[in-house]
Amino acid sequence: MDPRLFILLFVITVFVVYFVGLYFYIQLLRSTLELVGQENRTLEPSFIWIEFFPFIGPCWNILISYQIVISIRNKIKVLPIKRSILLLWGFGLTHSFILASSVIAFFFIPAISLVLFPIAIVLMLLWVWQLISVRKFIESQRVQN
């Protein structure tokens, strides 16, 4: 197999996996905003799709992470049971800052981006895990009421 063809197939595979993962990530964020209700949200779910833009998306993720945590906090305030969202806040904002930094660093010092990007992926997985657990909590409270 020609090495150039192998590299091309590898790059295409990485992009496809990235955009499929990004699609499901955006769906999770959008549905979470819809779950907290219009009266509690600080960002409309339709603004989440800006994440698909290649260079704006990682920077936009900082605002989205912050607004989702604020919206969830507003929703939890009205529930009869209190729950801390400190971990959710930390993972979301840290993931966003490191992801944006890795994208920016790619243009100046690509080696730093190779270190930051895997850290951002791990933090994103922790952020998604926390987000799913908070969503289950909110849904269980909605079923009980």
**Tokens linked to 49:** 């799709």
CA distance 94 to 116: 11
In single-letter form, the type of residue at position 46 comes to S
CA distance 56 to 104: 11
Q: Tell me which residue range forms the domain holding 46.
A: 3-144
**Tokens linked to 132:** 């799913």
Q: Say which residue, 52 or 86, is predicted with more confidence.
A: 52
Structural domain total, the chain: 1
- Indicate the range of 22-36, 69-83, 84-98 predicted with least confidence: 84-98
Is the model's pLDDT at 25 over the cut of 80? yes
Mean per-residue pLDDT, 133-142: 82
Q: In which region does residue 91 sit, left (phi positive, over 0), alpha (psi from -120 to 50) or beta (all else)?
A: alpha
In single-letter form, the type of residue at position 34 comes to E
For the segment 27-72, what is each residue's pLDDT rounded down to a tens digit? 998 998 998 889 988 889 988 888 888 778 877 888 888 888 888 8
Q: How far is CA 140 from the centre of its chain?
A: 22
Q: What is the mean pLDDT of the chain?
A: 81
> How many residues would you count in the chain?
145
Please report the pLDDT score of residue 83 as a whole number: 62
Mean per-residue pLDDT, 99-112: 74
CA distance 127 to 106: 23
CA distance 42 to 40: 7
Q: Quote the DSSP letter at residue 39.
A: T
Mean per-residue pLDDT, 117-139: 82
